[in-house]
Protein backbone atom coordinates (compact mmCIF):
# COMPACT_ATOMS: atom_id res chain seq x y z
CA UNK A 1 0.00 0.00 0.00
CA UNK A 2 1.39 3.41 -0.94
CA UNK A 3 1.54 6.23 1.61
CA UNK A 4 -1.28 7.97 -0.30
CA UNK A 5 -3.45 4.84 -0.10
CA UNK A 6 -2.74 4.50 3.62
CA UNK A 7 -3.61 8.16 4.28
CA UNK A 8 -6.74 7.90 2.17
CA UNK A 9 -7.90 4.75 3.96
CA UNK A 10 -7.10 6.32 7.33
CA UNK A 11 -9.05 9.45 6.44
CA UNK A 12 -12.09 7.49 5.24
CA UNK A 13 -12.04 5.62 8.56
CA UNK A 14 -11.84 8.94 10.43
CA UNK A 15 -14.90 10.19 8.54
CA UNK A 16 -16.83 7.03 9.32
CA UNK A 17 -15.81 7.18 12.98
CA UNK A 18 -16.73 10.83 13.38
CA UNK A 19 -20.09 10.30 11.69
CA UNK A 20 -20.77 7.26 13.86
CA UNK A 21 -20.01 9.30 17.00
CA UNK A 22 -22.47 11.93 15.81
CA UNK A 23 -25.02 9.15 15.31
CA UNK A 24 -24.44 7.93 18.87
CA UNK A 25 -25.05 11.49 20.04
CA UNK A 26 -28.30 11.64 18.04
CA UNK A 27 -29.35 8.27 19.50
CA UNK A 28 -28.79 9.64 23.00
CA UNK A 29 -30.85 12.73 22.23
CA UNK A 30 -33.64 10.56 20.83
CA UNK A 31 -33.54 8.34 23.95
CA UNK A 32 -33.98 11.51 26.02
CA UNK A 33 -37.10 12.33 24.00
CA UNK A 34 -35.55 15.14 21.98
CA UNK A 35 -36.32 15.38 18.25
CA UNK A 36 -33.36 14.62 16.01
CA UNK A 37 -32.49 14.44 12.34
CA UNK A 38 -34.69 12.46 9.97
CA UNK A 39 -32.38 10.90 7.41
CA UNK A 40 -35.33 9.87 5.23
CA UNK A 41 -35.89 13.58 4.51
CA UNK A 42 -32.23 13.95 3.57
CA UNK A 43 -32.67 10.97 1.26
CA UNK A 44 -35.80 12.53 -0.20
CA UNK A 45 -33.90 15.74 -0.92
CA UNK A 46 -31.00 13.84 -2.52
CA UNK A 47 -33.44 11.59 -4.37
CA UNK A 48 -35.08 14.55 -6.07
CA UNK A 49 -31.76 15.94 -7.32
CA UNK A 50 -31.50 13.74 -10.44
CA UNK A 51 -34.87 15.20 -11.43
CA UNK A 52 -33.32 18.68 -11.16
CA UNK A 53 -35.41 19.46 -8.10
CA UNK A 54 -32.96 21.08 -5.70
CA UNK A 55 -35.25 23.38 -3.73
CA UNK A 56 -38.48 22.52 -1.98
CA UNK A 57 -41.15 24.55 -0.28
CA UNK A 58 -41.19 21.90 2.45
CA UNK A 59 -39.22 18.68 2.02
CA UNK A 60 -41.60 16.78 4.31
CA UNK A 61 -44.42 17.52 1.83
CA UNK A 62 -42.38 16.57 -1.26
CA UNK A 63 -43.16 13.29 -2.97
CA UNK A 64 -41.42 10.39 -1.24
CA UNK A 65 -38.50 8.76 -3.06
CA UNK A 66 -37.98 5.01 -3.20
CA UNK A 67 -35.35 3.98 -0.65
CA UNK A 68 -35.12 7.47 0.81
CA UNK A 69 -34.05 6.26 4.25
CA UNK A 70 -31.14 4.26 2.82
CA UNK A 71 -30.23 7.13 0.48
CA UNK A 72 -30.29 9.54 3.44
CA UNK A 73 -28.02 7.38 5.58
CA UNK A 74 -25.62 6.89 2.66
CA UNK A 75 -25.55 10.64 1.99
CA UNK A 76 -24.92 11.28 5.70
CA UNK A 77 -21.86 8.99 5.73
CA UNK A 78 -20.56 10.18 2.35
CA UNK A 79 -20.75 13.74 3.70
CA UNK A 80 -18.87 12.77 6.87
CA UNK A 81 -16.15 11.06 4.82
CA UNK A 82 -15.92 14.04 2.46
CA UNK A 83 -15.53 16.40 5.40
CA UNK A 84 -12.76 14.20 6.82
CA UNK A 85 -10.99 14.26 3.46
CA UNK A 86 -11.22 18.06 3.42
CA UNK A 87 -9.83 18.27 6.95
CA UNK A 88 -6.95 15.97 6.01
CA UNK A 89 -6.22 18.07 2.93
CA UNK A 90 -6.19 21.24 5.04
CA UNK A 91 -4.39 19.91 8.11
CA UNK A 92 -1.97 17.67 6.24
CA UNK A 93 -0.53 14.24 6.76
CA UNK A 94 1.30 15.33 9.90
CA UNK A 95 -2.09 15.87 11.57
CA UNK A 96 -3.23 12.38 10.52
CA UNK A 97 -0.24 10.86 12.29
CA UNK A 98 -0.38 13.12 15.38
CA UNK A 99 -3.91 14.53 15.62
CA UNK A 100 -4.63 17.53 17.78
CA UNK A 101 -8.01 18.70 19.00
CA UNK A 102 -8.31 22.23 17.68
CA UNK A 103 -8.06 21.64 13.92
CA UNK A 104 -10.66 18.86 14.14
CA UNK A 105 -13.00 20.73 16.48
CA UNK A 106 -12.72 23.99 14.54
CA UNK A 107 -13.30 22.23 11.24
CA UNK A 108 -16.22 20.25 12.64
CA UNK A 109 -17.87 23.44 13.87
CA UNK A 110 -17.42 25.14 10.49
CA UNK A 111 -19.18 22.24 8.76
CA UNK A 112 -22.43 23.53 10.28
CA UNK A 113 -22.45 26.03 7.40
CA UNK A 114 -23.63 23.27 5.02
CA UNK A 115 -26.92 22.54 6.79
CA UNK A 116 -27.57 26.13 7.87
CA UNK A 117 -26.90 27.86 4.57
CA UNK A 118 -27.41 25.19 1.92
CA UNK A 119 -29.50 22.25 3.06
CA UNK A 120 -32.07 23.96 5.29
CA UNK A 121 -32.87 26.65 2.72
CA UNK A 122 -33.09 24.05 -0.05
CA UNK A 123 -35.42 21.90 2.04
CA UNK A 124 -37.75 24.80 2.81
CA UNK A 125 -36.61 25.63 6.36
CA UNK A 126 -34.97 28.92 5.35
CA UNK A 127 -31.47 30.19 6.06
CA UNK A 128 -30.42 29.02 9.52
CA UNK A 129 -33.90 27.56 10.12
CA UNK A 130 -35.49 31.00 9.80
CA UNK A 131 -38.76 29.53 8.50
CA UNK A 132 -39.19 27.14 11.42
CA UNK A 133 -41.04 27.69 14.69
CA UNK A 134 -37.81 27.68 16.73
CA UNK A 135 -34.94 28.97 14.58
CA UNK A 136 -32.53 29.75 17.44
CA UNK A 137 -33.03 26.33 19.01
CA UNK A 138 -32.59 24.61 15.65
CA UNK A 139 -29.36 26.51 14.98
CA UNK A 140 -28.09 25.58 18.44
CA UNK A 141 -28.94 21.91 17.81
CA UNK A 142 -27.12 21.98 14.46
CA UNK A 143 -24.12 23.68 16.02
CA UNK A 144 -24.04 21.12 18.84
CA UNK A 145 -24.31 18.20 16.39
CA UNK A 146 -21.42 19.53 14.32
CA UNK A 147 -19.35 20.21 17.43
CA UNK A 148 -19.83 16.54 18.33
CA UNK A 149 -18.80 15.67 14.76
CA UNK A 150 -15.62 17.75 15.22
CA UNK A 151 -14.88 15.94 18.48
CA UNK A 152 -15.49 12.71 16.58
CA UNK A 153 -12.96 13.71 13.92
CA UNK A 154 -10.37 14.14 16.65
CA UNK A 155 -11.33 11.00 18.59
CA UNK A 156 -11.35 8.82 15.47
CA UNK A 157 -8.05 10.26 14.23
CA UNK A 158 -6.47 9.75 17.64
CA UNK A 159 -7.75 6.18 17.89
CA UNK A 160 -6.55 5.31 14.40
CA UNK A 161 -3.13 6.93 14.96
CA UNK A 162 -2.79 4.99 18.23
CA UNK A 163 -3.90 1.76 16.61
CA UNK A 164 -1.62 2.08 13.59
CA UNK A 165 1.30 3.41 15.61
CA UNK A 166 1.65 6.35 13.23
- Give the whole-number percent of the chain exceeding pLDDT 90: 93
- 166 confidence band (pLDDT: 50, 70, 90): low
Q: Which residue range is the domain that position 135 belongs to?
A: 3-164
Distance from C-alpha of 17 to C-alpha of 15, rounded to nearest angstrom: 5
Specify the pLDDT at position 3: 73
Record the pTM: 0.94
Q: What is the DSSP letter of 130?
A: T
What is the mean predicted confidence (pLDDT) over 120-140? Answer: 96
HSE, side-chain direction, 13 A CA sphere, residue 107? 24
- Give the whole-number percent of the chain exceeding pLDDT 70: 98
The whole-chain average pLDDT of the chain stands at: 95
Tens-digit pLDDT profile for residues 49-103: 999 999 999 999 999 999 999 999 999 999 999 999 999 999 999 999 999 999 9
Tens-digit pLDDT profile for residues 144-164: 999 999 999 999 999 999 988
Residue 31's CB: how many other CB atoms inside 10 A? 9
Residue 34's CB: how many other CB atoms inside 10 A? 10
Specify the pLDDT at position 153: 98
Specify the pLDDT at position 143: 98
Specify the pLDDT at position 164: 83
Distance from C-alpha of 96 to C-alpha of 92, rounded to nearest angstrom: 7
Specify the pLDDT at position 2: 79
CA distances (Å), 58 to each of 81, 121, 166, in order?
27, 10, 47
Number of domains in the chain: 1
Angle between helices 68-91 and 3-31 (to 10 degrees): 130
Amino acid sequence: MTPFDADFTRTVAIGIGATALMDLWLTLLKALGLPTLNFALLGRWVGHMPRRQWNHEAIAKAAPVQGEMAVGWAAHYVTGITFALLLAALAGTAWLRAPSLWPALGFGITTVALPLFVMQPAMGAGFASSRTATPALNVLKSLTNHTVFGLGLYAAALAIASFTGA
